């Protein structure tokens, strides 16, 4: 199930720990609280970047994309020097790097020149096995620890590199087809049984083997990467085995420290497999004490590219101050909260489209932002903070430093370690909330009162905007409550549930949302509402239309203003 398609609900059942996994639960203290940055960061980019436009690829374009993104990770490890263009947004962000002063010049190269310049930095090659998709992830990890090239059989003969066969050294590089794996999980077991100790323990990843972008980051920082197929995938693809892959991933995640990021994305595969999906994938990561940093393809935002370049930048992020606002007793005040900014993919892609929309700024709006972007793409966040309008306010999502299932977080660990991991998570979340200068918190789902109190205690949080859309538990009585003395606004609406890429689709989405808001508004005045805007918000005029059709009784305000107005209504002051 996918939250980004408004399918919030109850999972069929929690993922059960295998007996083997329960025996290997790590009791080591998390190293994450000791690091300055929770996500790995590159050094500052070179003043001059080499540039290649991947859209120029024709023959074997998919194969070359994989090779080039992995090569980029090796090249950029010491200092970011190579930038790859996947789409128009990569061009926009390259211009922003220049404007900010992160780089001076760009040298555009054709593909032959790219290889001529950078192939000397690799000493061998690992060839993937097309029959075993997991071999792509295995080759990616091997490239990271051996500084080697990744190539498919279709293009491998174009590179004069050892692949572990005569007449070359059989220990330098390898053609993974020679291992004759029958199942994806066999490939992962082979790799981790031999090379686990050489990987970074700063992060993990779940990534579709058909995805090329973001591998620069995984290679550069030697991040372990797996993929878990769905039951439907297994019924179509003989090498897939969901149960075995799920158990393997669980055991792996439990061997890695708690409170580290999980990159990539567990569902919406762009290749032959759909993957385990968002619900079960994030549940697995959460149970194992990891938080998701969405950087793979999801919804309609592509996989993040050039993360080794963006993570080498720095920015100090400061919100624009909210204008003072006076409470009127007969009004319904509401905040629009635009979702999915916890995903690096949306920050790189669709947020930029919305921010550059001519209608941006016509109505106050809360923008969800993932705090880890302050590590991984501070230059991109800097664009939004600098170009924000007076009505823009950035909200910490989802929930805390990363995307988690709140009630399931660290459930795979025994007490008292589970409590320790949660306290570490809250402390990290407080530090990262400060980095994005947010005072409001967006949460994912309904949770126990005890867990909600914990999340509300994150330092600096003054108000909570709860849930990824209206849930079955939302009532007129709990739309507005308090937790720890802080107001909590549950979402009044569930969203239209359909894509809105056509004019008629957008019109219906606006009408549905207006109806849900009006139907869900209690009779009490003044009142304060959280209006949830998810992926169906694709143009800013939709926000303008909703606000206009609600009429003069409804007043749109920033999320921090909604908090202030609530306190005015009860005669208290935030903070």
* 35 burial type by CB count under 10 A (0-12 exposed, 13-18 middle, 19+ buried): middle
Helical H segments across 311-448, by residue range: 344-348, 350-355, 373-376, 378-387, 417-435
Confidence band of 167 (pLDDT split at 50, 70, 90): confident
Sign of the dihedral defined by the CA atoms of residues 362, 364, 368, 372, in that order: positive
Among 114-118, 268-272, 289-293, 323-327, which stretch is predicted with the lowest mean pLDDT?
A: 268-272
Query: What pLDDT sits at residue 10?
Result: 32
Transcribe 155-178 into DSSP letters.
TGGGS----S-TTS-TTSSEEGGG
Mean pLDDT of 372-392: 98
Q: Pairing state of beta strands 554-556 and 48-53?
A: unpaired
Sign of the dihedral defined by the CA atoms of residues 476, 482, 487, 493, in that order: negative
DSSP at 256: S
Tens digits of residue pLDDT in 291-336: 999 999 987 899 999 999 999 999 999 999 999 999 999 999 999 9
Query: What pLDDT sits at residue 534?
Result: 87
Residues 467/469/474/476 CA torsion (nearest 10 deg)? 120
> Please, what is the Cα angle at 36 between 30 and 41, to 5 degrees?
105
pLDDT at position 156 over 60: yes
pLDDT at position 355 over 90: yes
Confidence band of 350 (pLDDT split at 50, 70, 90): very high
CA distance 376 to 439: 21
Half-sphere exposure at residue 76, Cβ-oriented, CA atoms within 13 angstroms: 39
Query: What pLDDT sits at residue 36?
Result: 85
% the chain with pLDDT above 70: 93
pLDDT at position 18 over 70: no
381 contacts 374 by C-beta, under 8 angstroms: yes
Query: What pLDDT sits at residue 269?
Result: 65
Q: What is the mean pLDDT of the chain?
A: 92
Rg over alpha carbons for the chain, rounded to the nearest Å, is 24
CA distance 518 to 546: 11
Among 361-375, 455-469, 561-575, which stretch is predicted with the lowest mean pLDDT?
A: 561-575
* CA nearest to 512, candidates 490, 532, 540, 526: 532
How is residue 114 written in tokens? 């790219």
| Distances, alpha carbon 279 to alpha carbons 20, 245, 422, 449, 470, in Å | 23, 16, 20, 22, 17
Give the DSSP H or E segment for 192.
helix 184-195
Report the DSSP beta bridge partners of residue 205.
225, 263
pLDDT at position 34 over 70: no
pLDDT at position 16 over 70: no
pLDDT at position 33 over 70: no
Query: What pLDDT sits at residue 153?
Result: 97
Confidence band of 35 (pLDDT split at 50, 70, 90): low
Among 367-376, 504-513, 546-555, which stretch is predicted with the lowest mean pLDDT?
A: 504-513
Confidence band of 49 (pLDDT split at 50, 70, 90): very high
What pTM did the predictor assign? 0.94
Confidence band of 108 (pLDDT split at 50, 70, 90): very high
Tens digits of residue pLDDT in 175-187: 999 999 999 999 9
Q: How many CB atoms lie within 10 A of CB 448?
A: 10
E strand spans, 451-538 = 463-466, 480-483, 486-490, 527-533
**Residues with Cβ within 8 Å of residue 489, at least 6 apart in sequence:** 335, 463, 464, 465, 466, 479, 480, 528, 529, 530, 562
Query: What pLDDT sits at residue 22?
Result: 41
CA distance 388 to 110: 37
CA distance 332 to 528: 6
CA distance 318 to 398: 20
CA distance 114 to 111: 5
E strand spans, 99-220 = 105-108, 125-127, 149-151, 174-175, 204-206
Task: Annotate 144-175 with b (16+ C-beta within 10 A) or e (fewer).
Answer: bebbbbbbbeeebeebebbbbeeeeeeebbbb
Mean pLDDT of 43-58: 98
Query: What pLDDT sits at residue 122?
Result: 97
> For residues 431 and 501, which has the higher predicted lDDT (pLDDT)?
431
Mean pLDDT of 6-21: 36
Tens digits of residue pLDDT in 480-507: 999 999 999 999 999 777 667 788 989 9
pLDDT at position 268 over 90: no
């Amino acid at each position: 199930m996918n939250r980004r398609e408004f399918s919030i609900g109850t999972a069929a059942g929690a993922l059960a720990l295998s007996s083997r996994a329960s025996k290997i639960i790590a009791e080591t203290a998390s190293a994450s609280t000791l690091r300055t940055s929770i996500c790995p960061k590159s050094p500052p980019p070179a003043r001059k970047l080499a540039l290649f436009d991947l859209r120029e690829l024709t023959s074997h374009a998919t194969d070359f994309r994989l090779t080039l993104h992995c090569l980029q990770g090796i090249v950029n490890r010491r200092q970011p020097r190579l930038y790859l263009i996947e789409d128009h947004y990569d061009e926009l962000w390259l211009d922003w790097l220049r404007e900010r002063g992160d780089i001076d010049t760009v040298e555009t190269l054709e593909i032959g020149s790219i290889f001529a310049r950078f192939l000397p930095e690799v000493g061998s090659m690992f060839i993937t096995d097309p029959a075993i998709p997991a071999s792509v992830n295995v080759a990616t990890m091997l490239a990271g620890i051996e500084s080697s090239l990744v190539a498919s059989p279709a293009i491998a003969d174009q590179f004069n590199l050892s692949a572990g066969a005569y007449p070359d050294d059989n220990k330098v590089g390898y053609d993974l087809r020679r291992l004759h794996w029958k199942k994806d999980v066999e490939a992962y077991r082979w790799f981790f049984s031999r090379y686990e100790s050489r990987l970074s323990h700063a992060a993990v990843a779940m990534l579709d083997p058909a995805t090329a972008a973001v591998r620069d980051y995984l290679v550069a920082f030697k991040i372990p990467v797996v993929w878990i197929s769905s039951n439907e995938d297994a019924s179509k693809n003989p090498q897939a085995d969901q149960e075995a892959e799920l158990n393997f991933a669980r055991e792996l995640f439990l061997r890695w420290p708690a409170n580290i990021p999980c990159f990539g994305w567990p569902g919406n595969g762009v290749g032959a497999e759909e993957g385990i999906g968002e619900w079960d994938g994030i549940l697995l990561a959460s149970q194992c004490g990891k938080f998701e940093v969405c950087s793979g393809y999801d919804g309609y935002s592509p996989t993040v590219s050039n993360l080794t370049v963006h993570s080498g930048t720095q920015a100090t992020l400061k919100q624009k101050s909210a204008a003072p606002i006076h409470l009127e007793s007969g009004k319904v005040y509401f905040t629009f909260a635009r979702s999915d900014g916890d995903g690096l993919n949306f920050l790189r892609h669709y947020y930029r489209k919305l921010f550059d929309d001519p209608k941006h700024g016509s109505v106050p709006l809360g923008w969800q932002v993932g705090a880890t972007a302050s590590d991984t793409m501070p230059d991109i966040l800097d664009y939004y903070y600098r170009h924000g309008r007076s009505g823009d306010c950035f909200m910490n999502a989802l929930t805390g430093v990363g995307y988690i299932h709140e009630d399931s977080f660290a459930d795979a660990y025994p007490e008292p370690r589970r409590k320790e991991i949660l306290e570490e998570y809250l402390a990290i979340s407080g530090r990262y909330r400060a980095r994005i200068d947010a005072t409001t918190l967006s949460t994912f789902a309904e949770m126990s009162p005890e867990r909600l109190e914990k999340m509300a205690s994150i330092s600096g949080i003054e108000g909570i905007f709860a849930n990824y859309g209206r849930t079955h538990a939302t009532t007129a009585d709990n739309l507005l409550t308090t937790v720890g003395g802080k107001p909590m606004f549950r979402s009044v609406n569930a969203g239209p549930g359909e894509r809105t890429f056509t004019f008629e689709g957008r019109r219906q989405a606006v009408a549905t949302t207006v109806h849900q808001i009006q139907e869900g508004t209690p009779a009490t005045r003044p009142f304060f509402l959280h209006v949830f805007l998810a992926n169906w918000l694709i143009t800013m005029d939709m926000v303008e239309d909703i606000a206009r059709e609600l009429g003069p009784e409804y007043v749109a305000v920033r999320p921090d203003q909604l908090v202030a107005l609530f306190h005015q209504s009860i005669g208290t002051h935030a903070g």
